[in-house]
Amino acid sequence: MRQRARLAMAMFLLSEAVFFFMLIAAFVYFRAASLAVAAANLKLGATAVFTACLLASSFTMWRATVTRIRAWLGGTILLGGVFLVGQGSEYLRLFRQHITISQGLFGTTFFTLTGLHGLHVLVGIALLAILLGLATERRSVAVETIALYWYFVDVVWVAIFAIVYLWTLL
Amino acid sequence: MTTRELLLSAWDWEPSVVIGCAALVVVYLVLRGAARKGCPTSFLSGTLLLLFALVSPLDTLGDTYLFSAHVVQHFLLALIIPPLWLLGTPRSLAEAALRQPSLRRIEHVLAQPLAAWTLGVGMMLGWHVPALFNAALASDGLHIFQHVSFLITGTIFWWPVLCPVPERRMAPLQAIGYLFSACVSCSLLGAGLTFMPPGAYPAYLNPDDQLGILKLVRNDWGLDAKTDQQLGGLLMWVPGCFVYLTGILATAARWYGAAGQEA
Amino acid sequence: MAPVFHPQSPEAHAIATIFLYFLVLAAMIFLVVAGMVGYSIVRYRARPGDADPRPTFGHRRIEITWTVVPLVIVVVIFAFTLRTMAGVDAPREPDRPPDLTITGHQWWWEARYPNGAMTAREIHIPAGRRVLARIESADVIHDFWAPELGRKMDAVPGRAGYIWLRADTPGTYAGTCSEFCGVQHAGMRFGVIAEPQADFDAWVAQQAETRAADPGERLFRERKCGECHAISAKDDKTYTGPPLAHIAGRRFLGGNLPNREGNLMLWITSPQSILPGNRMPDSRLPADEVQELTRFLETRR
Amino acid sequence: MSPAPPRSAIRVWLSTIDHKQIGILYMLTALFFFVVGGLEAMAMRAQLSAPNLKFLAPETYDQMFTMHGTTMIFLVVMPALVGFGVYLVPLMVGASDMAFPRLNALGYWVTLGGGVLLYASFLAGGAPDAGWFSYAPLSEKPFSPHAGSDYWALGLLLLSAGSVIAAVNFVVTIATLRAPGMTIRRLPLFVWITLVNSVLILAAMPALNAALVMLLSDRVLAAHFFDPAHGGSPILWQHYFWIFGHPEVYILVLPAFGMISEIIPVFSRKPIFGYGFVAASTLAIAFLSFGVWVHHMFAVALGRVFISVFAAASMLIAVPTGIKVLNWAATLVGGSIRFTTAMLFAVAFLLEFTVGGLSGLAFAVVPIDWQLTDTYFVVAHLHYVAFGGIAFALFAGAYYWFPKITGHLLNEPLGRWNFWMVVIGFNLTFFVQHILGLLGMPRRVYTYPDLPWWAVLNQISTFGAVILGLGALVFVANLFASLAFGARAGNDPWDAWTLEWAAASPPPTDNFEHVPPVRSRRPLWDLKHPEAPDWATRGGG
């Protein structure tokens, strides 16, 4: 069963990976037109901190598959939540500067890409919360499978962070 | 200069290259002498292609005028010549080489699929990072190093798939995954270059027109800077993929073919 | 004779030729497959009492043959393709200004010439000479296609395309929009009118002239016809509807409606019954005003 | 365990997680939408039966062709192929069910939900009318203000999710639930192709999802992905749609190839010729299908160099496809061919698909594409692939596996009527459309002027469509008549070789009492011919 669940999740993540690849490609496609706005308005430092939180959550997720599932799951949810709060604050700041999804190509590509990623984080948190409610058995198949999803979401964020944020420095 | 004159005149018989190739052939023939195995045509055509890649107008064009010509050169060095060499190496020769403890240890490390893949694909991606690529264009020494590294990492990359000792090759399904992932990486690079705005490699925007063929290239061949970069990306993408695909299909066919005999 | 096989320019001729070769080749390939299948179903039809034939599992040499032969065929086709492409296609970024600009609108074609002349639906070119046409769109994607004259070209908003337009002999060559563009896609037909150089020059010059003032123009403005239509030549604005400065000289009105006695009045009264869904509403003007507008427009020659 | 209380049939079907019942649900859904999509086609053919007709209003006609294309692709062929797969794959690999039975049911209900959402658009102010590939900016808010296109995008998102769910399940089932001895190299070709196809679905569908999400952002949130007025790019939509769209063509046709690869050998009484090459060419097709999408965009000014590379790739993909056709034809040679209705359809498939394949190759020859793209020549081409290819294979599959699914044979005399009416009607309808394309008739026009030959050719096409429609009705009638009155089939009516024929007809809930030993690609042949089993000769695998 474990093997089947992992294979199924891997296949699902393959299709998710293509999905995010296409969205990132769209961002890059319009990069020339959106770079100026991006460079002027994105906050690299704060986002780097929230990125670190998300990456740390991969570590706590991994710990949860090994030991003390409740505590580590709780930590993961917390860190994921912090990341979402961070993203929310970034959005709010941009909205105040009148940068929205309908204001120019930067808004269009940025909010679609990061919004869909945020949605995936939110779904991940919901799944983890369900696990937390059910968690009795350590190392259950469900925890390991959802952990795969969580790692994937983090890796996608690393790609997004590199392309959307870090690339503005070049 | 017309296309014809260019093709006839722009050969650069750099002695070190010619002597190197000749030496390769001699060494090969001597070592092979007793073995009588391994396909000499494929080794020799590989070496001939190497000579062609380094002395023909392709080299001249790639050095100064056309990014796409440079891509073709790299394509030959990393994806065509090494497999031909490996196919041409007799089994006994490889076995003899692997009996040397030092070579054996090196092979043990480098022929790990992960290591070979990282080296082969990493080199392909790494050298096309604009900073490195432009640096190689500017310095002759670096440029030679670039070409040699393509040859060596190309050979390392193809070793686990085409090793002259078939028992040391990867399992077929594994090999298919190995080639497929390499293909995807090269395709992404190629697609990126195709859709990127021109100027990733600024030296090709306004080449130093020493041969006086810029007009020929730009007007008669229709390769302006934008089209040139696009063509380079496309060549890496589609024909590049085709080489990997051929590898995949050959592996799959051998796998199905072996099925009959093993039962 | 099908327009595709009735080429009237060297470009269209080259395409027709490669297509003909391709048809012959395709027919031969089809005959090989059909021959194998046909022979088998006659020769190897099961007869009562037949036992199962001895199993055969394949044949390596045959497989390699029918991998390599198609590969060779494909390479040959590709070489011919490249050659024909180079012969019929205009450069993507030509180094000279276009001889005319053709713009697709929902649902009519506009042509503008360097001297300021503009027209709709009927595109005039000099016969026997290659002109460079720039193809654009004002709204959605259209496609400019006159099959007897050569390749089609998508009109994509924000991205111009260039084609060679040429007709060897004077005449009218039918064309149509070939990319679905909304309700009246079907009504988006046009004609390319090739004329001897002198006639063409005269036409272009005449189209750029401004007609004498006429009291009818006041009604035209009052009824807001001018919000969608240009009434004077050399008007750079983008309009929803076709220019009317020389409407009386056109052979066709909307869609395929010939510009004959009474049809202009019919069009002004109820365009929706002719091309349902097109951008011009039925006017609901009193009869005398329709008559006055028609009279006025018929002076715009 | 106490006996479960009897449940009504409806509740059994609504709550089923049995792969056979879910497969049947998929197939019935496909059949229903086949009738709906067929009626839409009939409405269009009626409107086109004479020049300048006013049977359908232009906007209604646009809705008809949009819904016809979307329905036939996403609600007929996809569910039918998934249905056959869900039904047959576990049986063919000797398993008792799919790897995830509940996920399997979810996949079906999501698919059905997508269909319902798509058709709900009729109630919500009008069906989508921008064509099945919905080119921006025509599909954007300013040019398609009503909600039809939103329903289209949302419905397609659901349908795509359903396909991804099914694909995940197929991969895991085939990877982990094979009977002992059933190595990857001994998979029946239908299963092997389903495996490759599932990976293709997983890689291609997300491109559509991304494009749809971007279109919805544009339409609902006023983003600018495809809006040229604000710097967006209509070409981006075309790239994204066809990066999905061309692999999709192969997603639709590959399972049909799989069915043909099962049916032709059984009725030729010979194993498939060149198993390895048929299997490997599937990989090649799957692989190349991602490098050919630009041939849908040759009429856009993309630059000659760019276009010619994709032309080369598009031509190359003809090679593995040709290998398949030749191997099927070679399977016939030297056989002992039994012309059941299933085999008739399979042989007709070979010829019709070859026509469709060759006319497709024409579009890789760029100058020909520059003349003929977006004309009726394309309509003819795609129907030779979609109907002459895929639908003929589905008919063949239905006649071949109906006995397994229901325990009854389909009526053969009715089958002959079905076959000949469909073949004649199909060729009448679509062959003349090649000529209409050459005459300059663009596709997607609600009416046409009275030009020489246009009227008569369109009349022939409409006449053929009527015969085709009646032939399809014969099929539907045959299904229900044979279900009620058909002859008993027995477990193995065709003397076939793959595992599903070792189960009872219809198979019990757990499929097999015991799975026969698998020592070659044709386990039942080995069982029936102990004197010359495949594993003793070359056909081992």
Mean pLDDT (chain D) is 93
Residue numbers in A near D163 (CB within 8 A): none
Among D residues 446-465, those touching chain C with beta carbons less than 8 Å apart? 446-449, 451
Residue numbers in B near D310 (CB within 8 A): 238
CA dist., res. C174 & res. C194, Å (int): 11
For D270, the closest of C55, C154, C178 (CB atoms) is C55
CA dist., res. C83 & res. D37, Å (int): 42
Does a structural domain hold residue B1? no
Over pLDDT 90: what percentage of chain D? 86
* pLDDT over 50 (residue D394): yes
Cβ–Cβ < 8 Å for C115, C208: yes
Q: Kindly report the backbone phi and psi dihedral angles of residue D149, in degrees, each rounded to the nearest multiple of 5, phi listed first.
A: -70, -30
Name the closest residue on chain B to residue D283, using Cα atoms: B249
Q: Identify the pLDDT of residue B261.
A: 40
pLDDT average, residue stretch B107-130: 89
Domain enclosing residue D172, as ranges: 20-536
Residue D235 touches chain C, beta carbons under 8 Å = yes
Q: Identify the pLDDT of residue B260.
A: 46
Distance of CA B182 to the CA centre of its chain: 14
Instruction: Put residue D269 in one of left, alpha, beta given phi > 0 → left and psi -120 to 50 → alpha.
Output: left
Chain C touches chain D, with at least 3 Cβ pairs below 8 Å, answer yes
* pLDDT over 70 (residue A162): yes
Kindly give the pairing relationship between strand C100-105 and strand C142-145.
Answer: unpaired
Long-range contacts of B111-114 (CB under 8 A, 24+ apart): B111/B156, B111/B159, B111/B160, B111/B163, B111/B168, B113/B160, B113/B170, B113/B174, B113/B178
Structure tokens at B223: 């390769």
Same domain, C32 and C135: no
Q: Identify the pLDDT of residue A137.
A: 61
Min distance A157 CA to chain D CA atoms (Å): 17
Cβ–Cβ < 8 Å for A67, A115: no
pLDDT average, residue stretch D64-70: 96
Same domain, C130 and C80: no
Does a structural domain hold residue D541? no
Min distance D132 CA to chain A CA atoms (Å): 21
Distance of CA D432 to the CA centre of its chain: 23
Q: Identify the pLDDT of residue B262.
A: 38
Min distance A104 CA to chain D CA atoms (Å): 7
| B-D contacts at Cβ under 8 angstroms | 68
Domain enclosing residue C153, as ranges: 93-301
| Inter-chain CB proximity D99 and A29 less than 8 Å | no
Among D residues 232-251, those touching chain A with beta carbons less than 8 Å apart? 232-233, 236, 240, 243
| Inter-chain CB proximity B242 and D316 less than 8 Å | yes
Does a structural domain hold residue D3? no
Chain B touches chain D, with at least 3 Cβ pairs below 8 Å, answer yes
DSSP element (H, E) containing C194: strand C189-195
Residue numbers in D near B241 (CB within 8 A): 287, 291
pLDDT average, residue stretch D460-474: 97
Q: Identify the pLDDT of residue D420.
A: 97
Looking at residue C41, its amino acid is I
Kindly give the pairing relationship between strand C131-137 and strand C100-105.
Answer: parallel
Residue numbers in B near D275 (CB within 8 A): 256
Taking Cα atoms as reference points, which of D453, D299, D465 lies closest to residue D374?
D299
Residue B153, SS3?
Answer: helix
Start-end of H helices in chain C: 10-43, 60-88, 197-207, 216-222, 263-269, 271-274, 287-298
Burial of C116 (0-12, 13-18, 19+ CB in 10 A): middle
Taking Cα atoms as reference points, which of C172, A67, C185, C121 lies closest to residue D446?
C185
| Inter-chain CB proximity D222 and A102 less than 8 Å | yes
Q: Identify the pLDDT of residue C197.
A: 96
Same domain, C208 and C286: yes
Q: How many domains does chain C have?
A: 2
Average confidence (pLDDT) per 10 residues, chain C, 301 residues: 87 95 96 95 88 84 90 94 91 87 94 92 94 95 96 94 95 95 94 96 91 85 89 85 90 86 89 90 88 90 83
Mutate to test the interface with C, among D365, D439, D531 (most CBs of C within 10 A): D365
Could you tell me the residue ranges of all domains in chain A? 2-169
Structure tokens at C76: 């040959």
Does a structural domain hold residue D379? yes
Chain C partners (3+ C-beta pairs within 8 A): B, D
CA dist., res. A23 & res. D125, Å (int): 31
Residue numbers in C near D274 (CB within 8 A): 57-59, 62-63
Same domain, C113 and C215: yes
* pLDDT over 60 (residue D539): no
Q: Identify the pLDDT of residue A138.
A: 57
Does a structural domain hold residue D237? yes
Residues C104, C109, C111, C112: is their CA dihedral positive or negative? negative
Residue D231 touches chain A, beta carbons under 8 Å = yes
Does a structural domain hold residue D8? no
Q: Identify the pLDDT of residue B258.
A: 63
* pLDDT over 90 (residue B34): no
* pLDDT over 60 (residue A34): yes
Which of A32-41, C100-109, C159-168, D500-509 bottoms out in mean pLDDT, i.e. has the lowest? A32-41
Q: Identify the pLDDT of residue D307.
A: 92
* pLDDT over 90 (residue B2): no
Task: Give the pLDDT confidence of B213-241 residue by residue, as tens digits.
Answer: 888 888 778 788 888 888 898 888 888 88
| Inter-chain CB proximity C34 and D233 less than 8 Å | no
Q: How many domains does chain D have?
A: 1
pLDDT average, residue stretch D277-285: 91
User: How many alpha carbons fall within 13 Å on the CB side of residue B107?
Assistant: 19
CATH number at residue C187: 2.60.40.420
Min distance D275 CA to chain B CA atoms (Å): 8
Chain C touches chain A, with at least 3 Cβ pairs below 8 Å, answer no
pLDDT average, residue stretch D284-310: 90
Chain B partners (3+ C-beta pairs within 8 A): C, D
End-to-end Cα distance, chain B: 63
Mutate to test the interface with B, among D306, D314, D323, D327 (most CBs of B within 10 A): D306
* pLDDT over 90 (residue D338): yes
Task: Give the pLDDT confidence of A89-148 residue by residue, as tens digits.
Answer: 999 999 999 899 988 899 999 999 999 999 999 999 999 998 888 766 656 888 889 999
Give, as one character, the DSSP assignment of residue C258: B
Q: Which residue has the tokens 């022979």?
A: C39
Cβ–Cβ < 8 Å for C126, C195: yes
ipTM for the complex?
0.90
Residue D374 touches chain C, beta carbons under 8 Å = yes
Min distance B163 CA to chain C CA atoms (Å): 24
Task: Give the pLDDT confidence of B88-102 residue by residue, as tens digits.
Answer: 888 888 888 888 888
Tell me the whole-structure pTM to 2 decimals: 0.92
Min distance C18 CA to chain D CA atoms (Å): 8
| Inter-chain CB proximity C57 and B257 less than 8 Å | no
What is the number of residues in chain A?
A: 170
Residue numbers in B near D538 (CB within 8 A): 260
Min distance A51 CA to chain D CA atoms (Å): 24
* pLDDT over 60 (residue B263): no
Domain enclosing residue B221, as ranges: 13-262
Mutate to test the interface with B, among C64, C89, C92 (most CBs of B within 10 A): C92
Same domain, C137 and C266: yes
Domain A2-169, architecture per CATH: Up-down Bundle (1.20)
CATH number at residue C81: 1.10.287.90
| Inter-chain CB proximity D326 and C41 less than 8 Å | no
Min distance D522 CA to chain A CA atoms (Å): 27
Name the closest residue on chain C to residue B257, using Cα atoms: C60
pLDDT band at residue D355 under the 50/70/90 scheme: very high
Q: How many domains does chain B have?
A: 1
pLDDT band at residue B137 under the 50/70/90 scheme: confident
Residue numbers in D near A30 (CB within 8 A): 231-233
User: Where does a domain end: C88, C112, C139?
Assistant: C88
Q: Identify the pLDDT of residue D1.
A: 45
As a three-state string, the secondary structure of chain A is CHHHHHHHHHHHHHHHHHHHHHHHHHHHHCHHHHHHHHHHHCCHHHHHHHHHHHHHHHHHHHHHHHCCHHHHHHHHHHHHHHHHHHHHHHHHHHHHCCCCCCCHHHHHHHHHHHHHHHHHHHHHHHHHHHHHHHCCCCCCHHHHHHHHHHHHHHHHHHHHHHHHHHHHHC
Task: Give the pLDDT confidence of B56-76 residue by residue, as tens digits.
Answer: 888 888 888 889 999 999 999
Taking Cα atoms as reference points, which of A124, B35, B260 lies closest to residue C55?
B260
Does a structural domain hold residue B3? no
Over pLDDT 70: what percentage of chain A? 97
Query: Which residues have C-beta within 8 Å of that of residue D66, sequence separation ≥ 6?
Result: D127, D128, D129, D130, D131, D132, D134, D152
Q: Identify the pLDDT of residue B37.
A: 64
Min distance D325 CA to chain A CA atoms (Å): 31
